[in-house]
Amino acid sequence: MKQWTVTSPGMRNLMLTTAPIPAPGEHEVLVRVEAVSLNFRDIGVIEGEEGAAMPFPLTPGSDLAGRVVATGSRVTRFQKSDVVLGTFWAGWLDGDWPAEARVLGGSLPGVLAQYVVLHEDWLVHAPRTLDAVRASTLPCAGLTAWFALIEKGGLRAGQTVLVQGTGGVALFGLQLARAHGAQVIVTTGSDEKRRRALALGASCAIDRTAHPRWDIPAREYTGARGVDHILELAGGDNLGRSLAALRQGGRISLIGVLGEYAMTFPSVPSFLTRPVIQGVGVGHRRALEELVRAVDSIELEPVVDECYGFDRLPEALAHLKRGAFGKIVVKVS
Amino acid sequence: MKQWTVTSPGMRNLMLTTAPIPAPGEHEVLVRVEAVSLNFRDIGVIEGEEGAAMPFPLTPGSDLAGRVVATGSRVTRFQKSDVVLGTFWAGWLDGDWPAEARVLGGSLPGVLAQYVVLHEDWLVHAPRTLDAVRASTLPCAGLTAWFALIEKGGLRAGQTVLVQGTGGVALFGLQLARAHGAQVIVTTGSDEKRRRALALGASCAIDRTAHPRWDIPAREYTGARGVDHILELAGGDNLGRSLAALRQGGRISLIGVLGEYAMTFPSVPSFLTRPVIQGVGVGHRRALEELVRAVDSIELEPVVDECYGFDRLPEALAHLKRGAFGKIVVKVS
Amino acid sequence: MKQWTVTSPGMRNLMLTTAPIPAPGEHEVLVRVEAVSLNFRDIGVIEGEEGAAMPFPLTPGSDLAGRVVATGSRVTRFQKSDVVLGTFWAGWLDGDWPAEARVLGGSLPGVLAQYVVLHEDWLVHAPRTLDAVRASTLPCAGLTAWFALIEKGGLRAGQTVLVQGTGGVALFGLQLARAHGAQVIVTTGSDEKRRRALALGASCAIDRTAHPRWDIPAREYTGARGVDHILELAGGDNLGRSLAALRQGGRISLIGVLGEYAMTFPSVPSFLTRPVIQGVGVGHRRALEELVRAVDSIELEPVVDECYGFDRLPEALAHLKRGAFGKIVVKVS
Amino acid sequence: MKQWTVTSPGMRNLMLTTAPIPAPGEHEVLVRVEAVSLNFRDIGVIEGEEGAAMPFPLTPGSDLAGRVVATGSRVTRFQKSDVVLGTFWAGWLDGDWPAEARVLGGSLPGVLAQYVVLHEDWLVHAPRTLDAVRASTLPCAGLTAWFALIEKGGLRAGQTVLVQGTGGVALFGLQLARAHGAQVIVTTGSDEKRRRALALGASCAIDRTAHPRWDIPAREYTGARGVDHILELAGGDNLGRSLAALRQGGRISLIGVLGEYAMTFPSVPSFLTRPVIQGVGVGHRRALEELVRAVDSIELEPVVDECYGFDRLPEALAHLKRGAFGKIVVKVS
């Protein structure tokens, strides 16, 4: 089989290699990978910047959709031919994050390969209503938005959600909020993306270049009441803007902001507004199973900006780095 | 002005009388009543069967939509011409139910009158998107369903809700669940009501005459997983059926069941299923304000089976007693 | 090694047998059992009355304290010599109860043996401050009380808890409630047990033979406010008494009531009181780890009514059947 | 009667004046003030630095214990001779903070007077077990610690709480945590205060002058697991230290930090640790009533550093400004 391997840190050391198809152990499942969606952290792993990554050479990639082709002797959760998704966190099943949980394509081998062997606990059944390309976007970006807004946030109809930008997590946030009867404000940097966000159901899209104090029109949109939930995807002193846009007792989810910069916000509003600021790092398997049921129930269609062939991974990563509207996916087979 | 008065217990002692238009005190508001929706408890109050009712003669009715025509000198929440709804519980603003809370048309005078004076704390702004007739259904039936499923139940897309029958609370349950991306099962006794429930968005409607063990098809509908939330509106040993239909860790809301009969259920499933069985008695003002925002956001249109003129109250109550599909409303002005 | 075996249903078929010491698999741990505490369900398993039990012959017992004597090659959670407790539910780690969870001494082999092999996921570190006999009471009775009052109940200082009887769960409820600053009411059938409950810290002990309507003095004790949490351990129409003793919005935990009888309660208070009635079936591993930390922090000393030698299991079970004050434990080694 | 009045902004304009004893309106209560505890914000109000304060001249002070001497005609919650506490927030009864809530000695007249008239909704019954001087410390400092740790934090036995400094909120945090079976770490700047904190029950007291990276010994104390709850009372980049000391999924309460400086923390741990950072601004009346019950149940004795006579208010404020161990109280009558 073919798989992508990074021999030593650096994008130029990423190459398509061949390897034997692995065999599943007792509790393991052999999956034929059909699609892998990409995340910013894949770039960090390839460039050797993610702390807990595997030793090189390594295979990157964490989000797969595929089909079970063989099962170990003691596997009970899956059968041959089942269509499955991987869980981003291997070993976080429910409740609190456990110290032993690890990440596929991080401290565990990745999934940018034609076949992978995974413990049966690290897989869930895929939604009935999505093809593999779209389904592969759920394990990280989809689950992050679901975990922030639904599992932790208890979102309800009539609330207002604000998402920053139009990347994968932001657009899932938009779609999930709409499906729960909420209004959605998007901040974005381009007119084209503004139009596409409105077409996806955003009630309001603010150009953050024209409005560096985007919190002011956001607050106005809510009739001065303030936004109920904010997906904070920019970090730095943008967090101060988010606090200014928030309603009394509202919630800000801090999500996977890259870079070293400090989060910063003025102290007084931090207790006058009584916000809940919640760090979110993807989520657990039970929530992914609920997201899958929700996707089938509401017929949510994830936004894939572009889908690349397996051998075009470097181009796909370059597209992601430039900025995508929604997700970038690699079709494996 | 005209108002309905019950001189002594009994439906035959309900009569249209005249009275002076009352004047608001410092913190009070004078409201011109436009519509009043009816509840089963109104019949109990008129017949003298509700424990905590006012001494006779009394004016019944608890759920009003109307317009502010005058305000007391210290009123800050409302202005003349505001369109308002009453809160079923006078004095339950948020959080836990306080012992001092009382009910309009119960231990406090009712609203089946052309004008009423109410404390400003007992009113909320009406939704922009509904006329008075439809809006008057929110304070009791709408809020009960919202409080059970959303405020207490944390309903999310992909879950399954089961509602019993097609009365006011059940249909609000159906509509609110659909607006949050959930599937809905309705149990009903007539073919006509089955068809109407499906037309409203129910995914599955079970004839409980044909299926006294309605829990079996309900469970099947969920692929054996069990129902997430049940609005228990029948009581008695039906509660045992509800437990049998429920998923592990699911939630049953016990709602305003009339009559003396005992609730009863087998003990073993009660801990094997780890259910949460939650008594619900309408809800607080903050939740009603959230419901109003939700109604405007999702453009929910409450189901009014029939609307009667103010002088036809006895016919309206008779219709309610026979059984209605959704709500019965009296148009006052 | 020696182990207890039931060859076919019935207490008379319980016998001490010999077997080879088992060897741990990759993810498994070999534990030398030091103490096993007994539960009513052990009697049901031996008598063939528990639905999901293993086929006979079987070894009963679910609650062990012991010491790790060997570990499989891929075990990471434990080392040789660690002192450990089993988890009652094998495979319920955190969050919602998963369908694949099974019970030691139920659908899995039991622990009334000198050595057992268990998956490393089914063990936690024992508290530093307890010997094996006392520590063995935590996995089922201790965790049940903790899960009901603390994990699900959010107990806080100043609240009032009522426990029914003086069995293992009830006395853990008493001790844990006291350690969180709550007042405790105990209902009991004997004067001797009343005295012992008061000596353990109960603020009020009601003789339920003298007071079949024990809810009346219980409510009086709270100054008419009502009890905050009730551990319902009797079932049947006693549940109606519990509802009558409860405060507005209070919580009743339904716990492992044996027998076929129906739970029954009058319908009206069930929504007027807005109770939360919650089925509890022991709890998950994360909560057991928290209980262990709490036991060390507050130096809780579980109440062991009597401790029997390994070969005296039948006498220990007979004692349990007669009724114990707290727990009955079998010392294995 | 005598009362303290600030004629215009500035401590030097604070003077003892005379005024007629006010008369209660319909829903109001006349209270003879017995003790008032002081808060940092009183200094801000006197110096004209609190945004929403009353126009000058004004009477400062928000936390009173006293006795009802007369009641308005429609008062139902209190009778003459009842011993009462004020609520810091006038009009926040339960649930979410409402926009109409105001602060005594802020946007409403203060309580540093021999008699005050207050709406009956703004009072609760005082604990049975405390004198007025100690009881007066509950409405702001006591409730803030309770709200952060218990109402929002769900503190339980076995957890570890860290409080910063030894002011009023910190010491209530220490005592309430101990009363729920938790361990407590205190950071402090003086050896004398370290000793006193340990004597009050702290398990560990860290000198933050000797250990600017106090998070390192704090984390060590927990066996590397991290602290469960932190009361963040310092602000600025200290918040980064708090994040470093926190366990996975732990909670930081941001409490009333004065000054303009920015809160700041590195972005990466903010989502890797999945913290909940929660702004706390005192709390609601229902929680104060629960705190009062808890104080009586656990016989908590608030720490009063020094109690001053009514005419020595300026000295009391100067002591507060210098820094106190616990609370400073003014005895009024």
The answer to whether residue D288 sits within a structural domain is no
Are D52 and D105 within one domain? yes
How many angstroms separate the CA of residue B286 from the nearest CA in chain D? 8
CB D265 within 8 A of CB A263: yes
**Burial grade of B249 (CB within 10 A; 0-12, 13-18, 19 or more):** middle
The answer to whether residue B297 sits within a structural domain is no
Position D261 pLDDT exceeds 90: no
> Looking at beta carbons, which residues of chain C come within 8 Å of B99?
248
> Looking at beta carbons, which residues of chain C come within 8 Å of A96?
94, 286
Per DSSP, helices labelled H in chain D are: 40-46, 132-135, 143-146, 168-179, 191-199, 215-221, 238-245, 267-272, 285-298, 313-322
Test C297 with D156 for CB contact under 8 angstroms: no
Mutate which of C76, C78, C92, C93 to disrupt the A interface (most A C-beta within 10 Å)?
C93
User: Can you give the pLDDT at residue B271?
Assistant: 65
pLDDT tier at D235 (50, 70, 90 boundaries)? confident
Torsion of CA D213, D217, D220, D226, to 10 degrees: -60
Test B100 with D93 for CB contact under 8 angstroms: no
Test C277 with B276 for CB contact under 8 angstroms: yes
How many angstroms separate the CA of residue B245 from the nearest CA in chain A? 19
What is the mean pLDDT of the segment spanning C79-104? 95
CATH number of the domain at D6, please.
3.90.180.10
User: Can you give the pLDDT at residue C53?
Assistant: 65
pLDDT tier at D23 (50, 70, 90 boundaries)? very high
Q: Is C181 on the interface with B (CB under 8 A)?
A: no
> Looking at beta carbons, which residues of chain B come within 8 Å of C255?
271
Q: Which of residues 84-123 of D touch B (CB under 8 A)?
A: 93-96, 98, 100
Instruction: Kindly state the tokens that stand for D135.
Output: 């009881």
How many angstroms separate the CA of residue D286 from the nearest CA in chain B? 8
Test C295 with D158 for CB contact under 8 angstroms: yes
∠ CA C236-C238-C244 to the nearest 5 degrees? 135
Residues sharing a CB contact under 8 Å with residue A131, sequence separation 6 or more, in sequence order: none
The answer to whether residue A290 sits within a structural domain is no
> Looking at beta carbons, which residues of chain B come within 8 Å of C274?
97, 278-281
> Looking at beta carbons, which residues of chain A come within 8 Å of D272?
279, 281
Quick: pLDDT tens for C120-152. Answer: 999 999 999 999 999 999 999 999 999 999 999
Are C15 and C125 within one domain? yes
Quick: pLDDT tens for A79-90. Answer: 999 999 999 999
pLDDT tier at A100 (50, 70, 90 boundaries)? confident
> Looking at beta carbons, which residues of chain A come within 8 Å of B290?
156, 158
pLDDT tier at D90 (50, 70, 90 boundaries)? very high
Position C99 pLDDT exceeds 90: no
Beta A14-18 vs A123-125: how paired, if at all?
unpaired
Position D50 pLDDT exceeds 80: no
pLDDT tier at B182 (50, 70, 90 boundaries)? very high
How many angstroms separate the CA of residue B6 from the nearest CA in chain A? 39
Q: Give the residue from chain A lying closest to D225, CA to CA.
A: A99
Instruction: Kindly state the tokens that stand for B210.
Output: 């044909």
Q: Give the residue from chain B lying closest to A180, CA to CA.
A: B180
Share above pLDDT 90 across residues of chain D, in percent, rounded to a whole number: 86
pLDDT tier at A52 (50, 70, 90 boundaries)? low
Quick: pLDDT tens for D144-166. Answer: 999 999 999 999 999 999 999 99
Are D147 and D18 within one domain? no
User: Can you give the pLDDT at residue C237?
Assistant: 80
Q: Is C294 on the interface with D (CB under 8 A)?
A: yes
Q: Which domain holds residue A210?
A: 142-280
User: Can you give the pLDDT at residue C50?
Assistant: 72
How many angstroms separate the CA of residue D155 from the nearest CA in chain C? 8
Neighbours of chain C (3+ CB pairs under 8 A): A, B, D
Per-residue DSSP letters for B182-231? -EEEEEES-HHHHHHHHHTT-SEEEETTT-TTTHHHHHHHTTTS-EEEEE
Distance CA A190, CA A206 (A): 10
The partner residue sitting opposite B279, judged by closest CB among C99, C260, C270, is C270
CA torsion sign for D23, D24, D25, D26 is: negative
pLDDT tier at A48 (50, 70, 90 boundaries)? confident
CATH number of the domain at D274, please.
3.40.50.720
Domains held by chain A: number: 2
Are B227 and B313 within one domain? no
Q: Which amino acid is at A147?
A: F
How many angstroms separate the CA of residue B75 from the nearest CA in chain A? 21
Instruction: Say if the ipTM goes beyond 0.90.
Output: yes
Quick: pLDDT tens for B5-60. Answer: 999 999 999 999 999 999 999 999 999 999 999 999 899 999 988 766 678 999 99
Are C82 and C167 within one domain? no
> Looking at beta carbons, which residues of chain D come within 8 Å of C154?
154
Distance CA D14, CA D11 (A): 6
User: Can you give the pLDDT at residue C51?
Assistant: 67
> Looking at beta carbons, which residues of chain B come within 8 Å of D98?
93-94
Q: Is B179 on the interface with A (CB under 8 A)?
A: yes
How many angstroms separate the CA of residue B183 from the nearest CA in chain A? 7
Are A118 and A157 within one domain? no
Are D107 and D200 within one domain? no
The partner residue sitting opposite A281, judged by closest CB among D256, D271, D278, is D271
> Looking at beta carbons, which residues of chain B come within 8 Å of D77?
100
Per-residue DSSP letters for D146-182? HIIIIITT---TT-EEEEESSBHHHHHHHHHHHHTT-
Test D264 with A262 for CB contact under 8 angstroms: yes
Dmax over Cα atoms in chain C, in whole Å? 61
Are C129 and C231 within one domain? no
The answer to whether residue C96 sits within a structural domain is yes
Q: Give the residue from chain A lying closest to B225, CA to CA.
A: A293
Test C156 with D290 for CB contact under 8 angstroms: yes
Quick: pLDDT tens for B234-279. Answer: 877 888 899 999 999 999 999 975 544 677 777 666 667 899 999 9
User: Can you give the pLDDT at residue D268?
Assistant: 65
Q: Is D290 on the interface with C (CB under 8 A)?
A: yes
Position A260 pLDDT exceeds 60: no
User: Can you give the pLDDT at residue B143?
Assistant: 98
CB A130 within 8 A of CB A302: yes
Test D99 with A248 for CB contact under 8 angstroms: yes
Are C109 and C196 within one domain? no
> Looking at beta carbons, which residues of chain C come within 8 Å of A94?
93-96, 98
Beta C89-90 vs A160-164: how paired, if at all?
unpaired
pLDDT tier at D299 (50, 70, 90 boundaries)? very high
Test A180 with B293 for CB contact under 8 angstroms: no
User: Can you give the pLDDT at residue B264?
Assistant: 76
Q: Is B263 on the interface with C (CB under 8 A)?
A: yes
Are C323 and C213 within one domain? no
> Looking at beta carbons, which residues of chain B come within 8 Å of C249?
96-97
User: Can you give the pLDDT at residue B169?
Assistant: 97
Position C216 pLDDT exceeds 70: yes
How many angstroms separate the CA of residue C151 from the nearest CA in chain D? 9
Give the lowest-confidence range in A289-293, B216-220, C105-109: C105-109
User: Can you give the pLDDT at residue D53?
Assistant: 65
The answer to whether residue D290 sits within a structural domain is no
User: Can you give the pLDDT at residue B267?
Assistant: 67
Q: Which of residues 209-248 of A touch B (CB under 8 A)?
A: none
Averaged confidence pLDDT in chain C:
94
CB C301 within 8 A of CB C137: no
Are C179 and C112 within one domain? no
User: Can you give the pLDDT at residue A268?
Assistant: 65
**Burial grade of D65 (CB within 10 A; 0-12, 13-18, 19 or more):** buried
The answer to whether residue A296 sits within a structural domain is no
User: Can you give the pLDDT at residue A12?
Assistant: 96
The answer to whether residue C293 sits within a structural domain is no
∠ CA A26-A31-A32 to the nearest 5 degrees? 150
User: Can you give the pLDDT at residue B234?
Assistant: 84
User: Can you give the pLDDT at residue C289?
Assistant: 98
Quick: pLDDT tens for C157-180. Answer: 999 999 999 999 999 999 999 999
> Looking at beta carbons, which residues of chain C come within 8 Å of A76?
100
Instruction: Kindly state the tokens that stand for D197.
Output: 């904190």
Test C274 with B276 for CB contact under 8 angstroms: no
Position D211 pLDDT exceeds 80: yes
Q: Which residue bears the tokens 């909670």?
A: D251
Q: Is D289 on the interface with C (CB under 8 A)?
A: no
Torsion of CA C29, C30, C36, C42, to 10 degrees: 80
The answer to whether residue C285 sits within a structural domain is no
Position D284 pLDDT exceeds 60: yes
Are C101 and C170 within one domain? no
Position C29 pLDDT exceeds 70: yes
What is the mean pLDDT of the segment spanning D52-60? 84
Q: Which residue bears the tokens 């016989």?
A: D299
